[in-house]
Structure 1
Amino acid sequence: MNAADGTGIVDEDWSAWETALAQFSAASGLVVSAYDAQGRRRAGPFLQSRLSELLAASTLWHDDGDGTRFEQALASRAAQEGQASAAFCDELCVMAVPLTLFDEVYGAVVYGWTFSRFTSGMACERIARQLDLSGARLWTQARLESPVSPSRMASHTGLLRTLIDSNTRQKEAIARLNELNRMREVFLATVSHEMRTPLSAISLRLDTLLLSKLDDPVRLRRELGAMMRHVSQEARMVEDLIDAAQTRNGQLAMQPEDVSLLRILRDALSTVEPRAAAKGVALMVASLEQADVLVRGDPQRLQQLFWNLLSNAVKFTEAGGEVGVEVSAGAGMHRVTVSDTGQGIAEQFLPEVFGAFNKQQAQNAEGLGLGLFIARHIVELHGGTIAVESAGAGKGAAFTVSLPALQPEP
């Protein structure tokens, strides 16, 4: 939901505001309107007094009326300042408070249009001339209504803020439920599609073999090898689902020990080297034979982390491209950067890279999009950080993992 531009609140939501603000107007006797972030009146004006009805008989609240422009300016100020007040023609008190959703301002409520003190005939005449009303009639009506003192207006403001807070909490709860439902739908659609793919391939190969004479050992070995790859793919997805579930509930298994970061990287590289060679992607690795770089961590989880980063780098790099690994040892933190010259990441997608079920569809034809989500949590469980940089689509990407250095015994 994009609340900041005013378009994220649908008509039904403004209709709900109409009911709430009409009740507030009836309880306070004030004129009340609601504006969106573009300055369009979306509810009101709600009128309760004879004075406000007399003012409404003029052009005051027409789309291009003086009152509408006055309220729009006040609503804009409230969005910046949190609350705003002003006096129309130096006499009629008008106030505004912002409307927010998830801390983003999407509009404002403007209220008031009352005298804060007993006015004069000259003041009413001045207002009447600007609105093309009868000054005598306005003065007569003004004398019949009690002014609203600043302390009383403050009480009305407190009541309005309570009403707004209540409605805002309800809207945010509904928005979160809608987002959870959307994520559940994405989860089910992604899992069902991705896990069906290798199963369908296995089933097709088995059907083909069963219809054949099974007298070609070379073909049998080839087909069984392909099925084993599909089984491995399916097993990885199941493991990712289990790891993601354990990550969310804080139960991801960890068995920390003193480990060599360079050994972890060498093992992860040996796993992806065959795939890189088959694809024609060069692995540019700075020397891993330097003085040992030690960290405190789970060796299997760390290898899972770097295998994931290296595997993604190879996957998203075309033949002839390069994948680089650079280790930078530090007194407090050790850093490992895995970079590639592949398809890169568009700027608007960078904040979403480490989310669950986020996939770069252009080349990621397999997997659930959980690898980087799990990788981020593995790094965080080790007290480290992971960051991504990319100059844009087609310009490669670089992932930098920072892990606390193992301090030597005194």
Structure 2
Amino acid sequence: MITVELPDQASVAWDDWETPLRQFTEATGLVTSVYDTAGVRRIGPLTGSRMAKLLAERSSLWAEDGPGTALERRLVHTVHAQGTSAATQYGEAFRVCAQPLLLRGAVYGVLLFGWRFADFGSPLACERIAKQIGLPGHLLWNEARLDAPVSEKRMATYAALLGTLSSTLDRQRETIDDLTRVNRTRELFLATVSHEMRTPLSALSMRIELMLRTIPDLPARAVSGLEAMRLHVRQETAMVDDLIDAARTLTGQMSIDRAPVGLGQVLRDAISTVETHAHAKHIPIQVSPGDDGDRIRLEADGRRLQQVFWNLLFNAVKFTPAHGIIRIAVRPLDGAVEIDIADSGQGIEAEDLPHVFGAFRLQQHDNATGLGLGLYIARRIVELHGGTLSVTSPGRGQGTTFVVRLPTAPA
């Protein structure tokens, strides 16, 4: 047996029905209302004809304890219990119909419509109805004789239109519900990945370090194996961190903590993390001007910006052949600063340039490793700072230039 979780009545966006129902009411002249499953009227009665307005303003028909309200609540109970449409008649004249509002097959509300004569009324019938609802008979007859009746066939057409309208809105509600559930799943994923994957990797990394530092006279092959394991653990940890950052970006949960920071220090910290790899390939990293941008102050998250520049520099080293060169140029602008990171590496084909910052995009040539999330995350971090990250390349084998533009702090 499949159970369907009914939405909390307080959480249902009843106002979503207001505009489409009002438009329907004005177009058809019917009276419409929406009830929840407890029999509470959430919308209406909405009136679209002179006679309906008279009944709403001058009679007790739809008062809280009025006969029309009591009839509608009986219909709500019937529709809720049976899960199907229902109809009834008030007195000798008014036809009232009801349709269920469904979410994943379960009734969460009832749509009432009608309150129009099925045939031409008579003074006597209007007199009897008016007496029940505290309205002078002649007033009701004056409006009823000018109000065109709604035949069974026309009422069926209106019912079909409302059925289409309600199914469309309910499908939208289901879609929103699905998106909410997906977002909750993503949040659970983030929490699970953070704990279940980071924790064992941290423990493994610590044990490898302990073995390398505390066990004397390890054979050279053992040391080599442990150092290779340490490298692989660091790579796995970096990929887990990228997955978490990407998930936070997709769900809008990535944030930055702004504080006064010097651009020069951020750049030096980023360069220090890739210098070993650059030296191993005999790739110098040149910075101009010589102060690394120490005079430029930012209101920024220094750790996140370091992550951006480390990523760009790591890629530059990774895709630049031995004895190449990487140049960093800092250019102060009016209220902003641009940082160019240019390499003499393999470059990017013109058709690949528009896709460089996409998630899970890998270089299609040499050294295509990792998850392809670094540049995607880097651009998002820069955008959170109110800046931009762009890329240019003359083509294959002609190097690549990434340009980071950031707002500077007021003097």
- TM-score computed with the length of structure 1 as normaliser: 0.49
Choose 1 or 2 for highest CA Rg.
Answer: 2
State the TM-score, normalized to the length of structure 2.
0.49
